[in-house]
Structure 1
Amino acid sequence: MDRDGSYRTAAVPIAPRSAITRLLIVTDAWHPQTNGVVRSLSAMGRELRSRHFEVNYLTPSRFWTVPLPTYPEVRLSLTPPGAVAEQIAASGAEHIHIATEGPLGLQARGACLERGWSFTTSFHTRFAEYVSARVPVPTEWSWAYLRWFHAAASRTLVPTPSMMADLAGRGFTNLTLWSRGVDTEAFSPGEKSWFTGLAGPHMLYVGRVSTEKNIAAFLDLDIAGTKIVVGDGPQRAELEQRFPDVLFLGYRHGDELAAIYRSADVFVFPSRTDTFGNVMIEALASGVPVAAHPVIGPIDVITDPAAGVLDEDLKAAVVRALALSRTGARRHAEGFTWAESASQFSNALVDKVPMPKAQAV
């Protein structure tokens, strides 16, 4: 990543200048954060550059930041008046995509509306439920903010059909599908090199360790074997104290993370608030069946009974998923490609031209 927040892949051949399409992605979530938003936006950059896009990111790395209360690894940008608009204009972008609804996204939205620039947005997080899990704010208030924020976009990209239906029912408009992919070379079946000596089966969770992820529902399960948690977050200390028999590994990356995935016997995804769940397809690509609740996210990802089990009884889902083959999990993951995801993303982009006055609200 460059100092200015852009993310470049030097190995991609550069097309003649006249053939390059310039895209600016505005996001409050960026490296060194480890989450699905950052992974998805980074993957889009790599894939789109191979299609003659010049992709730059407007991120918190360009500004002073302060930690988000109760979640210090997420940092909020402190931007002087007009700074975001100036950087958007200086980018020369032909397309603007606002990925998040935080301080940078909010200022970018305002700058675009003031100048009559069209833009797209994407819906990554059930922000309303996340806020209510931490502070006593009615979810209706948060949903009203999200609806207002995305209403000005020419299109809002949504990760799954079920999430799209949910948002449409809440009054969101101009919705279009943008699914996710997985690197099937980085995540693949192989030798089970981790957890040697630990009682099996080995049940794995990967992701943020926070209240809205419902991890305690997994760790509370009365089931033989070893539970493993990869990731970090504000709830980790509490859960480590409550569940001393659980193996907490913190953040792991690259080859080490891939080895942990393929060493598991089942991947447990207890969240009821995710919009997709990238970690599920990383597990599937590693040959690990998934156990989850039948809610938004899992119902769109685990569509093949050979890949995983959805059940309101999470213990029953885990037991049945342990009986599935690794081959079925891997085969299902191969249907999720970043190439298809990038096609959906690029097809949804709009030119940065003045929008009709009726939309500029």
Structure 2
Amino acid sequence: MSTAPLSIALISETFPPEINGVANTLGRLAQGLRARGHRLQLVRPRQDSEQNRPSSEQLLLTRGWPVPGYPGLQWGQAARHKLLRHWRLRRPDVVYIATEGPLGLSALRAARRLRIPVVSGFHTNFQLYTRHYGFGLLARALTGYLRWFHNRCRMTLVPSLSQQQELQRRGFERLELLARGVDAQLFHPIKRSAELRQGWGLEDDDIAVLHVGRLAAEKNLGLLVASFRALQAAHPRRRLQLILVGDGPARASLQQQLPDARFCGLQRGEALAAHYASGDLFLFPSLSETFGNVVLEAQASGLGVVAFDQAAAAQHIRHGHSGVLAGAGDEQGFIAAAQWLLADRENLRRARLNARQHAAQQGWDAIVERFEQLLRSALLPAANGLPGGAGILLKRE
């Protein structure tokens, strides 16, 4: 396979410095591709801080509209004609589409019109979110659209085996695994802060129960509340403090339910790393993740993680060794798993040590290399005949 630098167009409705798992992943992939000598054109909506920023050869900006219920995130405006004009002048070798909104759809249509190979990524389970926002009847239609969208691409990259199996069951084709990595130097137990813990009202032997993520309905936060209450009841003589890092529409409700919890808001970089490392136990009750980057970040920070046996947790937690798992949707099993970690100090100590050792080996370099290989494979003659290929007759979009 050729090793010549590629010209890659990456299309996404979210990108750093926005804070979410998709933006984090794409930022890492883009940084890694550029470090390997590839030419990257990023196509995304303008963010709030750059309304007057002009587009350039490396950055093509579009208009965006706020996503209801998701402050700070946007749908990108369709830009088919703009993309056709730009790509006719500077044709990319391959297009990677990370989001399936209007901008992603217009990129798919423009690339197919120009017979440029398209690779897509399945980053977010939007079809699962609908039930949490009063649109449950749209779930089937949205799944159908997502299947149609991704099946018109050369391949779709998914972050976990459980996600791959679920999508295959629903008729998605040509799925390839692209896992996620973690910056194990940033997220490290050495970042533990006695000062931060004192601010939380904790001494060395007290337990900081941490949750990091968006505070929203799809994150199954009712179980977070129930789990913490169960831990408090099981350990009435131990000092337990719930620490929530992140923000979202459920924050006000959670503050009413958890008046003694510490709400730390959004954290970035070193501050986020210090919050992770200053915790002890990490509760991750979400059932809507395609991966769940926070699981690896918590492990790298040396926390004992409690999660459901799916996505990142299924790949990176060995039950009873480097964390604890519950069967998907088994809420009583989740609570029991958390209680087991705190039942014996050795259980938590061992899980934390083993979690760090495992996560320290999950760097981004191998993930970026795999991503590059998959993008190159979309250019191979053997791929002709697949949707988006250069050797097939395409109807006009």
TM-based fold match above 0.5 = yes
Deviations 1:52-78 (A, max 9, x none): 112231011212222112222211223
SS of the residue corresponding to residue 144 of structure 2 reads helix
Deviations 1:33-63 (A, max 9, x none): 2111111111011212222112231011212
Report the number of matched residues.
Answer: 344
Q: Could you tell me whether the CA contact under 8 Å between 1:24 and 1:96 is conserved in 2? A: yes
**Cα separation, 2, equivalents of 1:318 and 1:76:** 37
How far is the alpha carbon of 1:175 from its aligned partner? 0.5
Aligned-partner residue type, residue 47 of structure 1: G
Question: Which of 55, 78, 85 is matched with 2:40 structurally?
Answer: 55
**Cα separation, 2, equivalents of 1:332 and 1:43:** 20
Q: Could you tell me whether the CA contact under 8 Å between 1:264 and 1:288 is conserved in 2? A: yes
Aligned residue number for residue 130 of structure 2: 131
Aligned-partner residue type, residue 266 of structure 1: L
Aligned residue number for residue 318 of structure 1: 338
User: Does 2:197 match 1:195?
Assistant: yes
User: Does 2:360 match 1:354?
Assistant: no
CA RMSD of aligned residues (A): 2.1
Are the structure 2 counterparts of residues 344 and 19 from structure 1 closer, same or farther at C-alpha, using a change threshold of 3 Å? closer
**Cα separation, 2, equivalents of 1:67 and 1:358:** 34
Aligned-partner residue type, residue 213 of structure 2: G
Aligned residue number for residue 110 of structure 2: 111
User: Does 2:116 match 1:96?
Assistant: no
**Cα separation, 2, equivalents of 1:359 and 1:309:** 51
**Cα separation, 1, equivalents of 2:144 and 2:134:** 17
**Cα separation, 2, equivalents of 1:145 and 1:160:** 21
Moved more, 174-183 or 189-198: 189-198
Deviations 1:235-273 (A, max 9, x none): 112212222121111100111111111111111111011
How far is the alpha carbon of 1:81 from its aligned partner? 5.5
Are the structure 2 counterparts of residues 251 and 355 from structure 1 closer, same or farther at C-alpha, using a change threshold of 3 Å? farther
SS of the residue corresponding to residue 212 of structure 1 reads helix
Structure-to-structure mapping, 1:92-241, within 5 angstroms = 92-138=91-137, 139-190=139-190, 191-193=192-194, 194-196=196-198, 197-198=201-202, 200-221=206-227, 222=229, 223-224=231-232, 225-241=240-256
**Cα separation, 2, equivalents of 1:68 and 1:226:** 33
Aligned residue number for residue 66 of structure 2: 67
Structure-to-structure mapping, 1:320-335, within 5 angstroms = 320-322=340-342, 323-324=347-348, 325=350, 326-335=352-361
Are the structure 2 counterparts of residues 204 and 91 from structure 1 closer, same or farther at C-alpha, using a change threshold of 3 Å? farther
Deviations 1:274-309 (A, max 9, x none): 011111101111111210122344212323642110
Are the structure 2 counterparts of residues 332 and 157 from structure 1 closer, same or farther at C-alpha, using a change threshold of 3 Å? same
With normalisation by structure 2, the TM-score equals: 0.81
Question: Which of 347, 361, 368 is matched with 1:342 structurally?
Answer: 368
Aligned residue number for residue 286 of structure 2: 271
Deviations 1:76-116 (A, max 9, x none): 22345512333444453212100111121111011112222
How far is the alpha carbon of 1:137 from its aligned partner? 3.8
Q: Could you tell me whether the CA contact under 8 Å between 1:147 and 1:172 is conserved in 2? A: yes
**Cα separation, 2, equivalents of 1:140 and 1:60:** 28
**Cα separation, 2, equivalents of 1:27 and 1:91:** 19
Aligned residue number for residue 318 of structure 2: 303
Give the gaps of 5 or more residues in structure 2.
47-60, 233-239, 380-387
Are the structure 2 counterparts of residues 359 and 346 from structure 1 closer, same or farther at C-alpha, using a change threshold of 3 Å? farther
With normalisation by structure 1, the TM-score equals: 0.89
Give the gaps of 5 or more residues in structure 1.
1-17
Deviations 1:7-36 (A, max 9, x none): xxxxxxxxxxx9532211100122342111
Aligned residue number for residue 235 of structure 2: none
Q: Could you tell me whether the CA contact under 8 Å between 1:117 and 1:355 is conserved in 2? A: no
**Cα separation, 2, equivalents of 1:186 and 1:327:** 17
SS of the residue corresponding to residue 343 of structure 1 reads helix
Structure-to-structure mapping, 1:280-291, within 5 angstroms = 280-291=295-306
Deviations 1:220-243 (A, max 9, x none): 222221111111112112212222
Are the structure 2 counterparts of residues 340 and 359 from structure 1 closer, same or farther at C-alpha, using a change threshold of 3 Å? farther
Aligned-partner residue type, residue 73 of structure 1: G
Are the structure 2 counterparts of residues 360 and 166 from structure 1 closer, same or farther at C-alpha, using a change threshold of 3 Å? farther
Larger Rg: 2
